[in-house]
Amino acid sequence: YTNLYFQESNSGYFTNGMVRFSEGDGVQMINCSLNFVNSIIRDNAYDGLDLSGSNSTIDNCNILGNSHSGIRCDGSTLTISNNTISNNTNSGILVIDVSDPTITGNTITSNNYGIYVDSPYDNLTANGNTIENNTAYPIRCYPHNVSGLYSNTFTGNTNQQIYVEGGTVSEDASWEDQGIPYYIPSSETIIVQGLDGVDNVTTLTIEPGVTIEFDTSGGVYIGHDSNSNYPGALVADGTEIDQITFT
């Protein structure tokens, strides 16, 4: 029930086209390198684009009104740029199963989640996007994804927070001021520990102006209480104007 199905296709372009009204995914790709440019993917009964094990570019497309996610990135390395991704029932972009997308210059609006990272093994780079008017959170991700977020604009989302799942920061990382708080949900913990960097101590740096909001029993745990093989450090150096807030 997929309109277009590609498997083991090495290269190609889909340009200036439209895929709509599928009873399943609009487009499903497995282990492909097909690129989508200047096209419309809309009103399909599941995902607009379902890309598994693929290395593709999606540029200047309009992806809207799909009944699950606009783009499902499943074990894929994608470049997603300059698109409008809107009114998809679940997520604008869903990232799962050891994926590594670069998401740049998009308008991601009026979905449930803007960007949803569903696996702690995914990487994520998202910069220069406008993420607005989504009904859950603009971004939901894991701790190690946060350092890949920068220069995004967030407006009008029901929850003006970046939802950070519990998990481990095992490499040196910086969390910058996104203009909205980071939110650590109930009973979830961010663990900072490892042997990264020239000092062999994994360090989480919180930039000036950052606010981290904790729900009940949420927290940040630095290092290890009894094992020196799991050191950790926190650098939170605010300024008089741009204070760092834990609340």
Q: Dump pLDDT digits (tens) for 144-181.
A: 999 999 999 999 999 999 999 999 999 999 999 999 99
Beta bridge partners of 78: 56
Residue in 128, 100, 132 with CA at minimum distance from that of residue 114: 132
Give the three-class secondary structure for 144. helix
How far is the C-alpha of 6 from the C-alpha of 25, rounded, in Å?
12
Longest Cα–Cα distance in the chain: 60
How far is the C-alpha of 225 from the C-alpha of 139, rounded, in Å?
32
3-state helix, strand, coil in the chain (%, to 5): 0, 45, 50
How far is the C-alpha of 151 from the C-alpha of 180, rounded, in Å?
12
How far is the C-alpha of 157 from the C-alpha of 135, rounded, in Å?
6
What is the model's pLDDT at position 101?
96
Question: Residue 51 corresponds to which tokens in the numbers above?
Answer: 């890309």
Summarize the confidence of residues 71-78 as an average pLDDT. Answer: 95
Give the three-class secondary structure for 147. helix
Q: Does residue 247 surpass a pLDDT of 70? A: yes
Please say whether the beta carbons of 131 and 158 come within 8 A: no
Give the three-class secondary structure for 83. coil
What is the model's pLDDT at position 10?
66
Q: What is the pLDDT of residues 208-233, one digit of tens each?
A: 999 999 998 889 999 988 888 889 99
How far is the C-alpha of 48 from the C-alpha of 41, rounded, in Å?
6
How far is the C-alpha of 177 from the C-alpha of 180, rounded, in Å?
7
What is the model's pLDDT at position 70?
98
Q: Does residue 45 surpass a pLDDT of 70? A: yes
Tokens 């083991």 found at: 8
